[in-house]
Structure 1
């Protein structure tokens, strides 16, 4: 995926600047039930669908100082109850990592996490589905807009993270009670290539 060189209000998901960047359609798949962290989750969800978001459109841009990842996906029209819609941009921490399990102890993944209604983004390290550690979120930004039944979210942080060479996505459908490891995740890494 090309990282467009742009200036302007890139932190705003509705900014006109994003119109200059072609989206890449990303197929998503549920994190496998057998790798969920507890027997309770595996039993409670064995007959339920989760990770229901089948695809998302992603764009990437940089103004030289910050990397901006814009993600768009169709919202489930059912109202949310206890859990909110959420999305993460995922980066490897040491060269690679297993997306299907949201990382592991040897190769954890770095997540820039946005959740509807949360006052700011979270900077998480994932050691597997539902096994997250919070890091300092200083320097991260996130904004989301729901319009015409679609979420548009921009996650941003220091441009240096693009040196890790790849990005992936995870989406949680809050109206389906999705949270922690119950997510739809990219099937493969997307290479990040500067324009």
Structure 2
């Protein structure tokens, strides 16, 4: 039995996944040594991103050709909304401000891509564009799971969320939708690869973030 399209796409993009896992931003989360300033900026950017992520799933649900697709995409939208609750929780625990964020260029590039795909493409391509986020975070979380035992790590909730079985189920759900609905393999490959590149740029922008001395922030 041959590999599914979702398995092939993930294997083709393991190079970017490895770069994300080994990125100093992600490793800083694992060790707990990442500055809160960088983490909080990232949380705000990710909160902005999750609005678009949830909307993409809602648009896919409206386009779904059958009940199975409608139910699955609604479930994924709910998962994105639950992630937003996690980020809101960082306001009280780490002092993040997720509501007044100004989206950076990498964030805008990613969200514009997601929404344009969701509005203009079929559900197979929407699944291909959204799967990298869930699969990458589940994979990173599972690779960092050992660090979730360190109660002193300020980012422990982040690690526990993305290493959880419930988040793995979201990743598998998006992959299942690729295999069910993606018929244009060439375009699915392009969408998946671009989303993975955006994921790396997202971490890289957060790592390079610096607040200005005047109290504002240097936008990337």
Does the alignment reach a TM-score above 0.5? no
Q: Whose strand proportion is higher, 1 or 2?
A: 1
TM bin, normalised by shorter chain, reads under 0.3
* TM-score for both structures, normalised by structure 1: 0.27
TM-score for the superposition, normalised by structure 2: 0.25
The structure in which a higher percent of residues are helix is 2
